[in-house]
Amino acid sequence: MARICDGDEEAFGLLVHRHIDALYRYALRLTMSSANAEDLVQDTWLAAWQNAKRYQAHKAGLATWLHRILHNKFIDTTRKRQPEYDQQAVDSLMNEVVVGQGEDNPDALGRLNTLISQLPENQKAALSLAHLQGFSNKDVAHILGISVRATESILARARRTLRKQLSET
């Protein structure tokens, strides 16, 4: 990060290369649109470059910091417009992320994806970060700007809602 703070574009390129796929998956999960996800990731990288000096390694890991920037950009964006739903892009993501589950049952994957997309934004974000991106509850809390306890509560509500919706189908 020190090199990036000094304007080293090569170091920034390495950072992008390491984290772009994870950021894109999270952005796609939030926006449900490949075009909007790409825009969101691009805005995230621009903000990371412009604010590199604000990164504090003792407060959060680099991936956590980047996901926090993306999450904040998403919140700003959703206040301005309604997200578009790109079913094909989301189905592709589910097939990539859910390894070894549902490969023989694409209808189940589609249904799960639809149910996740219907969750409130905070539940969808927390569930995506914890279960699909692999972040700890502490990191999810930092990314979302809430307490660990609140994160655990949101995750529990999201799981409960999904279980209820699945039992009703």
Domain membership of residue 53 (yes or no) is yes
Domain membership of residue 17 (yes or no) is yes
Q: Which long-range contacts (CB under 8 A, 24 or more apart) does 5-9 make?
A: 5/52, 5/53
Burial status of residue 90 (CB atoms within 10 A of its CB: 0-12, 13-18, 19 or more)? buried
Domain membership of residue 19 (yes or no) is yes
Domain membership of residue 112 (yes or no) is no
Domain membership of residue 146 (yes or no) is no
| Residue 68 neighbours by CB under 8 Å, 6+ apart | 60, 142, 143, 144, 145
Q: What six digits make up the tokens of 25?
A: 């998956």
What's the CATH number where 10 sits? 1.10.1740.10
Q: What is the pTM of this model?
A: 0.62
**Using CA atoms, how far apart are residues 72 and 68, in angstroms rounded to an integer?**
6
Q: From its phi and psi, is residue 11 left (phi > 0), alpha (psi between -120 and 50) or beta? A: alpha
Domain membership of residue 167 (yes or no) is no
Domain count, the chain: 1
Domain membership of residue 122 (yes or no) is no
Domain membership of residue 96 (yes or no) is no
SS3 60: coil
Q: pLDDT tens string for the chain (169 positions)? A: 889 988 899 999 999 999 999 999 999 988 888 999 999 999 999 999 999 999 999 999 999 999 999 999 998 887 765 444 444 554 454 454 444 454 455 666 677 777 888 889 899 999 889 877 889 999 999 999 999 999 999 999 988 888 777 667 5
Q: Residue 70: which domain range?
A: 1-85
